[in-house]
Structure 1
Amino acid sequence: MGRKSIITIITLMSAALIGIIVIQLYWINESVRRNEESFNSSVYLILGKVQQKLQEGADEPLEAYDYFKKNNRTELKNSITKDMELSLSDLDPYNKQRLMFELRSLESSINPSVKLEGIDPKEVKQFIEAEMKEQNIDAKYDFGIFSSEMRDFIIVNGVYNATIGETEDMSTVKTGMNKSLYSSPYQIQLFASEFDVPGYLKISFLNKTRALWSSVMPSLISSIIFTGLILFCFSYTIYVILRQKQVSEMKTDFINNMTHEFKTPIATISLAADSINSPKISSNPDKVRRFSNIIKEENNRMLSQVEKVLQMAVLDKRDFSLNLTEINIHSLIRQAAEHGKLQLQRKEGTISLNLDAENPKIRGDETHINNIIHNLLDNAIKYTPEKPRINISTHNKTNGIIISVSDNGIGMTSDARKQIFDKFYRVHTGNLHDVKGFGLGLSYVKAIVTAHKGWIEVESELGKGSKFNVYLPS
């Protein structure tokens, strides 16, 4: 898949995902808005029903009669007949009705707030609780009766407000009133007339937002979960596409390297064979022997390369077994160092050993462990272009040994460090073209170390060399 195709797929999938998220947010917001409209309608319905009950209760004749008689209002005496001196129960229906009409007229003209003072706080609370239950509203709230004359609440949350006047009523409490009651939009007039509005019934909700979102919360959580799953799958798909593209490129490099690695010995073998067939060479036993050795060496070289590829195929299938024996790591390191010195002579390099492990013996497969050491040493030499300074050290760690191979070579970037153990991956060497290989060495090393239940890590900085640490359990 080409780069343009990948970018197109990522763009389309991103646009689709963003579109889905935007649509979900729109409908969730729309649901909350509708919930708020329904909530507001329910609250105003509650206020209206409570208002009706309060006003019906305030229309009782006896309450108005007792109030005016108790307060001995002069306006009452001057305006109402001597029927006032009689007991209200003694009046005939006509006079009783006439008396109440006059009482109500006086009540509005003298002091419209008197009806507020006759409200029973507990009764208001009961009315509101009953209506809240009927409307299925479970949000916490404060309520109060606000007096227009006093410019403050006379009742808050079912008790008299102690800051208004003096009273000996035990139901009077110093209320911890919610300040939002003053500015609450949920209010309704009480005992209003064409001349005045004595007061208001107000309600303020402490967690209105939570109540509005509670009904859409399951949908919101489901949307977040499924959107997260889609996002995860989308991200993972992009990762796989990019990873596969990278693997494809590495395989292409591997094929190119393999072709080059095999082309050279094949060409050499062909030339040697042609030379042997030449009459001038065939008659000279020494030259025939020389060209025969060249053919054998090049053949062994090709066999070695093929063996590496086959080894990785076996390791990938996990179709191999380790021949565990007791191994002296220091002996294997000294043998590898002697082999490495021959390669280092051409580059004027040196190799030093710091074998500090007190117990150098472990149980492992000698052939594979030997290959690990040789691979790390070969890499250190290959990726150090000038005067290599190689150091191999050991020290014991809990129930095992750590082998460290360090160099002063080209080093690598952080991105390279993350990929060097991947099959076919080779560190880019810039203008350095003489580094050969299939990119299988470190992948093989990690597979074998893992098979021995050990671990491998790398420390490296670009231009300052690398250090590989291998832990193998005893």
Structure 2
Amino acid sequence: MNKRTLWAIMIVMALALMGVAIIQFLWIKWSVSLDEKNFNTRVFLALNEVRDRLTEDNQSKDLVKDYYKQKKQNSLIGNDELNLTQNIISSKEKSWSRQRIEFEIRSNMMLFDPEGFLENIDNIKLDKYLKTAIQNQNINLDYEYGIFSNKNDAFLIVNGNYVPDFGDVAQSSVIETGKGLYNTEYKLSIFNGEEVDPGSIRIYFPDKNSWLWRSVMPVMSLSILFTGLILFCFIYTIMVIFRQKKISEMKTDFINNMTHEFKTPIATINLASDSIGNPTIINNQEKVKKFVGIIKEENRRMLSQVEKVLQMARLEKEEIKLKISKIDVNELIENAVENARLSVIPKSGDIALALDAKNPEIEADQTHLANIIRNLLDNAEKYTDGAPHIRVETRDSSDKVEIKIKDSGIGISKENQKHIFDKFYRVHTGNRHDVKGFGLGLSYVKSIVDILGGKISVNSELGKGSTFTITLPRKQNLKK
């Protein structure tokens, strides 16, 4: 898969994921809007119910007042019991239609004194009617309510309590503390008529918005969860694709480098073999020995390279077996340094030792530990422009021994430091052969250190060299 195709797939997947997220958001928003419309309808139905009951109460009250007023007038003008009885009988004989006409007339007469109607509203009944109406509409939210007078621009009743002194400081305080109620969208005129509008009944739900969102919270939570899972899978898939692409490139580099590493000794062996077969050489024992030595050396070199690959394969399958024994770290390092100096000194370099560990004895596999030191010394020499200057230190660290190998090489960038212990990874990739190797050295070092229960870290800066620090325990819990 080439880079262009990969980026095209990423863009399509990103757009698809974005589209799903937008659709989910719009659907949730639509659901909240629908719930809000339904809630608004129920609130206004409740307010209509309260208004109707208040109107009925006021009409009944007027009829009772008129009855007692008429009774009083009759007694004042001296009507006797017979006349009163006749009036009552006459009233009973009125037809239903006549009573309804009188009721409508009296209802319409209220319009001449709308403010009187507002001021005569019973706060206790108002509270009772509102609670009943709200319950009838299955609304279970806390609310604030009030009766508002348009004439005075003030509340007459707030939350079941009368508010005195319209227009004064107290009223301003009521409005200030009840801004939600004052500005509420839920208000209904006390009268249906358009000509007279004395005031309104208002109700406010402080927790309405949070309640609306809570109602869709389960669906929204699941939506966010699944969208998050899709996003995670998308990101993880992209990371895996890039990682696999990187591994593929490293394997290709490994094969190219391995081919180069094997091609050189094979060519040398082939040339030496041809030379031995030459009639002028075959009778010269000195030259024959020389070419046989070259063949053996190149063969040893190839065998060493093959062994590295096989070791990594065994490490990966966890088939490698360590031979644990007591080792003097200082002594092992001195031997490794002596061999490394053979390739460092010709380049005008040097290797300094500061073996300060007072108790250098640890339990480890001597062969693999020696390979670790040789690998790090070999890298310190190879990745240096000019004369390599290397310093090896040891020191005690409680129940561990610490080994540091410092060089004056080209250094390693922060980005490369994250991957130098990965198998096949090389700082110099591609078909460059200025530095030989398979990219297995540091991966091998890290694997052995981990098996021994130790830790390895690197501190490096481009152009200023690198420092590898290995910490190994003195005692091993591995089976010998």
Q: Report the TM-score, using the length of structure 2 for normalisation.
A: 0.88
Counterpart position of 1:126:
128
Count of equivalent residues: 457
Q: Does residue 327 of the first structure (1) align with residue 330 of the second (2)?
A: no
Q: Does residue 212 of the first structure (1) align with residue 212 of the second (2)?
A: yes
AA in 2 matched with 1:34: L
Tell which deviates more after alignment, 173-182 or 56-65: 173-182
Deviation at 1:429, TM superposition (A): 7.9
Deviation at 1:334, TM superposition (A): 1.0
SS at match of 2:114: coil
SS at match of 1:59: helix
Note closer, same or farther for the CA distance 1:358–1:178 as it changes in structure 2 (3 Å cut): farther
Distance 1:433 1:211 in 2: 69
SS at match of 1:419: coil
What pairs up with 1:194-273 in 2 under 5 angstroms? Answer: 195-273=195-273
SS at match of 2:412: coil
> Unpaired segments of 5 or more residues in structure 2?
475-480
Counterpart position of 2:453:
453
Distance 1:350 1:435 in 2: 20
AA in 2 matched with 1:18: M
The Cα RMSD (Å) is 3.0
Counterpart position of 1:16:
16
What pairs up with 1:302-451 in 2 under 5 angstroms? Answer: 302-428=302-428, 433-451=433-451
Distance 1:140 1:46 in 2: 14
AA in 1 matched with 2:361: K
Tell which deviates more after alignment, 319-328 or 441-450: 319-328
Distance 1:408 1:326 in 2: 32
Distance 2:369 2:303 in 1: 20
Note closer, same or farther for the CA distance 1:473–1:205 as it changes in structure 2 (3 Å cut): same
Deviation at 1:238, TM superposition (A): 0.6
Tell which deviates more after alignment, 173-182 or 257-266: 173-182
AA in 1 matched with 2:206: L
Counterpart position of 1:152:
154
Note closer, same or farther for the CA distance 1:101–1:415 as it changes in structure 2 (3 Å cut): closer
Tell which deviates more after alignment, 375-384 or 387-396: 387-396
Distance 1:433 1:150 in 2: 95
8 A contact 1:393–1:405 mirrored in 2: yes
Note closer, same or farther for the CA distance 1:320–1:193 as it changes in structure 2 (3 Å cut): same
SS at match of 2:319: coil
SS at match of 2:418: helix
Deviation at 1:229, TM superposition (A): 0.5
SS at match of 1:301: helix
Counterpart position of 1:473:
473
Counterpart position of 2:478:
none
Deviations 1:37-65 (A, max 9, x none): 11111111111111111111222236862
Deviation at 1:289, TM superposition (A): 0.8
Distance 1:137 1:230 in 2: 37
What pairs up with 1:270-281 in 2 under 5 angstroms? Answer: 270-281=270-281
Tell which deviates more after alignment, 311-320 or 386-395: 386-395
What pairs up with 1:76-155 in 2 under 5 angstroms? Answer: 82-83=73-74, 92=88, 94=91, 107-109=110-112, 111-155=113-157
Note closer, same or farther for the CA distance 1:101–1:37 as it changes in structure 2 (3 Å cut): closer
Note closer, same or farther for the CA distance 1:403–1:184 as it changes in structure 2 (3 Å cut): same
Distance 1:337 1:67 in 2: 124
SS at match of 2:48: helix
8 A contact 1:142–1:205 mirrored in 2: yes
Deviations 1:154-182 (A, max 9, x none): 1111222255499xxxxxx9899421211
8 A contact 1:192–1:198 mirrored in 2: no
AA in 2 matched with 1:147: S
Distance 1:325 1:68 in 2: 119
What pairs up with 1:24-103 in 2 under 5 angstroms? Answer: 24-61=24-61, 65=65, 82-83=73-74, 92=88, 94=91
Deviations 1:414-460 (A, max 9, x none): 11001101111111289984210000000000101111111111111
8 A contact 2:458–2:466 mirrored in 1: yes
SS at match of 1:439: coil
8 A contact 1:138–1:211 mirrored in 2: no
